[in-house]
Structure 1
C-alpha cells in the first residue's frame, strides 16, 4: 500500500497546473518554501536620482529590507470511500479515477484562492478597480471592450510592461463581450489575446457585492442579484504562487466501510508580491 500511496500522490502532483491555467503565468516561488513557510524580504525604498549633481560627497543611505515569513494555506479534500465490492464490480480502476477527482478539486480551490488574493477591492494608483460601463442588461451594466481598454490604460499609467499583462475574465463578462461584437470576440478567443492582455476565462474569479464594491469571502457563489463575479487583471511579475507539501491520508480496508477511506492535503499560497500591479473589473449597477 505504501507503493500505491506514492503512485496516487504522484497523480496528484503531476500536471497539477494544466496547460492554459493562469497560474502558469505567475512567478513561482516554491523554491523559497521551507517547512511550508515562504520566507521573503520586502525590499526597502529605491534610491533618489540626482540630476547634474555638483555637491560631493553624494548623499548616501542604507536600504532596510523587511523580512516576512508567510505560512502556506492548508487545502484538504473531504474523504472519499471506495468500497471493496465497488472496485471489484466496476470495469475501471475506481480508486485511480477518485484520486484524479481529488486533484481536480484541489486545483480548483487553488485557483479560487489565487484569484481572490490577486483581486484588489480598493481603487488606487497601482491597484485599479473599475466598474463596467457597457449597455444595460436589466439592473446591471455589461462589460464592454472599452472597459478593457480603460483597464489597460490604468496599467500603462504606471508604466506597466505590455508583455506582463494578464486578464482573467469572468464567464459573464466574457458573454457580455460576445454580445457586444461576436466577430471580435471569436478572434479574441482564437488568439487568446485581448488588446495587450494575455486572456483567460475562469469561474474561479472572486465574487463582489456590486452595491458597495466589497469583495466576498473565497468560494462565495454569485446570485445574479447583488453578488456577481468580477474579472481580474495582473502583471505576471507582480503576483506569485508557492507550492508546499502534498500528503495522502489513507485508512486501508476500513472494517466499518468495507473499503478504503482517503483524502489529500496540499499546502499552497498565492498573493501579490508587492501589493501592486493587480486590478479588478466589477459589474456596475444600472440606475
Structure 2
C-alpha cells in the first residue's frame, strides 16, 4: 500500500463531490467567494459558517433637480451568517487485500458508494431549501388547475398546463422577479403533464437531452429533478425528509438564478489503517462534508403544486 494512501483517496473523493452527478438546476449558480470559518473543529459540535455581505441599499433618484448642493445619502450594508449543512457517512471498511496498489480505478469503485449518496442527499436538500415556505407576493405558490377542461391523471391529480405556467409567470412578474435567469425545476408529474401537451410544447421536451440547452417556456428555463419537496394541499412546505401524507403534493420549484447562494465547505476524511486494525485487517474510512444552497432572501422563489 502506498504511503500516501489516505491523501490519494481524500483528494479523489473531493474531486468527485465537486464534479460528478451535479443536479442541472444548480449549474451556473456561482460559488460564493467567501472564506469558510470552521468552528469547534474536530469536535461533535463542529460547524462550517460563512459570512456573506449583503445590502438592500438603493440610491434615491432626483428628477429635474434644481436644488443645490445635492443632499447626501449614506450607503448602508450588512452581513448574513449562514451555517453550512453537515453530511457524514457511516464508517466504511475496506479489506486490505483490495486496497494494495490502490489504482485510480479501484479508488473510484470503492468511493462511488460514498460520493453518490452525499451528492444525492445534498441535491435533495438544496431543492428543498430553495422552495418557499408558503404563498406570498414575493414567493408565489400556485396550484395546478388542469386548465379550462380540468384535466386530471388517473389518481385525480389536476395536471399542469401551459395556461398554469402563464398564470405563474404573471405572479412572478407581480413579485418583481427580473425577466432574465428564471428557472423552473419540474417534478416528474409536472414534466410528464407537459409531455402530454403536444400542442403547446411539441417535441421541445421530448428532444431535451444531456448536452442540449434547456428549453425555455413562458420565460422559464426548464429543468427536471426526481426528488422534489412536498407541500400540503393548502400550499405550505413540509419539512425535509418527512414521510409523505396521502394529501401532500409534490412541488415544482422556481427561482431566479442570482437569488440563490451556494457554498462548498470543508471535506474531512477519517482514516484508520489496516496496520493497526489486526482484528478486521481492514482500512476504516468515513467522511464529513459541508455544503449549503439557500436563497439570499425570502423572495424570487416560488412553487407549483
Same fold (TM over 0.5): yes
Following the alignment from structure 1 to structure 2, what is the Cα–Cα distance between the partners of residues 278 and 188? 23
Select the residue among 250, 255, 260 that pairs with 1:239: 260
Structure-2 residue corresponding to 1:29: 32
> CA contact under 8 A between 2:138 and 2:176: conserved in structure 1?
no
- Structure 2: runs of 5+ lacking an equivalent: 39-47
Pairs within 5 Å for 1:90-101: 96-101=108-113
Q: Which region of structure 1 is more displaced relative to structure 2, 121-130 or 181-190?
A: 181-190
Select the residue among 203, 225, 245 that pairs with 2:226: 203
Structure 2 SS opposite 1:261: strand
Structure 1 SS opposite 2:273: strand
Pairs within 5 Å for 1:94-173: 96-134=108-146, 135-137=151-153, 138-173=155-190
Q: Deviations over 1:150-200 (max 9, x none)?
A: 223333345544431111111121122223338836423525213132222
CA shift, 1:107, in A, is 1.1
Q: Which region of structure 1 is more displaced relative to structure 2, 193-202 or 151-160?
A: 151-160
Residues 13/197 of structure 1: CA separation in 2 closer, same or farther (3 Å cut): farther
> CA contact under 8 A between 2:94 and 2:282: conserved in structure 1?
yes
Residues 129/183 of structure 1: CA separation in 2 closer, same or farther (3 Å cut): closer
Structure 2 SS opposite 1:47: coil
- Structure 1: runs of 5+ lacking an equivalent: 283-287
Following the alignment from structure 2 to structure 1, what is the Cα–Cα distance between the partners of residues 243 and 201? 29
> CA contact under 8 A between 2:270 and 2:286: conserved in structure 1?
yes
Residues 208/78 of structure 1: CA separation in 2 closer, same or farther (3 Å cut): farther
Select the residue among 211, 214, 233 that pairs with 2:236: 214
Q: Deviations over 1:21-48 (max 9, x none)?
A: 2212223105443433211123043132
The alignment's TM-score, normalised by the length of structure 2, stands at 0.79
Residues 63/163 of structure 1: CA separation in 2 closer, same or farther (3 Å cut): same
Answer 1 or 2: which has greater strand percent.
Answer: 1
> CA contact under 8 A between 1:232 and 1:279: conserved in structure 2?
yes
The number of equivalent residue pairs is 277
Following the alignment from structure 1 to structure 2, what is the Cα–Cα distance between the partners of residues 255 and 182? 67
Pairs within 5 Å for 1:75-94: 75-84=87-96
Pairs within 5 Å for 1:51-70: 51-70=63-82
Q: Deviations over 1:65-95 (max 9, x none)?
A: 222222222111222223346779xxx9665
RMSD: 2.8
Following the alignment from structure 1 to structure 2, what is the Cα–Cα distance between the partners of residues 124 and 55? 40
> CA contact under 8 A between 1:32 and 1:38: conserved in structure 2?
yes
Structure-2 residue corresponding to 1:285: none
> CA contact under 8 A between 2:23 and 2:225: conserved in structure 1?
no
